Structures are given as C-alpha cells and as structure tokens.
Amino acid sequence: MIDLANEYVASYKIVLELLDEIILVLGDDKTTIDQYSKILKVGLRNSELGKIPGTRRPSNFW
C-alpha cells in the first residue's frame, strides 16, 4: 500500500513540474485550449510518468 501511495506522490510531482514548465514557456502568451492540450500531451509523453497509479489489474482478475 505504501508503494502505491509513493507512486501517487511521484505522479503528482511530475504533473506539477510539467504544469510549471508550461507556465515558464508560455508566460503571459495566450493559447487556445487545443494548443494547450497538445503541449500537455507531449509533456506527459516525454515525462517519467509511465503508468497511471491504481490501474494495475489484480493477478487473479482473469
């Protein structure tokens, strides 16, 4: 259970760092939601965020 909590904390930190980087890059520039979405997706793909915590299937699922 502690491992899962640590995964959540790590994921949260990665997302916050990504959002901070987007703010630094965009500054006060206006962008569309479509452009912002693309930037966010690229950032997430390039991050260390390999999986979403809590989505692992139990070994006895099937």
Residue 33 maps to a domain = yes
Q: What would the two tokens of residue 26 be?
A: 């965009």
Residue 55 maps to a domain = no
The count of domains in the chain is: 1
| Cα dihedral 27→28→30→35 (10° resolution) | 10
Residue 51 maps to a domain = no
Average the pLDDT over 31-50 and give the result: 89
Mean pLDDT (the chain, rounded): 83
Residue 18 maps to a domain = yes
Residue pair 21/43 in contact by the 8 Å Cβ criterion? yes
What is residue 18's predicted lDDT score, i.e. its pLDDT?
94
40 Cβ contact list (under 8 Å, min separation 6): 18, 22
Residue 58 maps to a domain = no
Does residue 13 carry a pLDDT above 50? Answer: yes
Does residue 19 carry a pLDDT above 50? Answer: yes
3: enclosing H helix or E strand? helix 2-26
The band of 60, judged by pLDDT with boundaries at 50, 70 and 90, is low
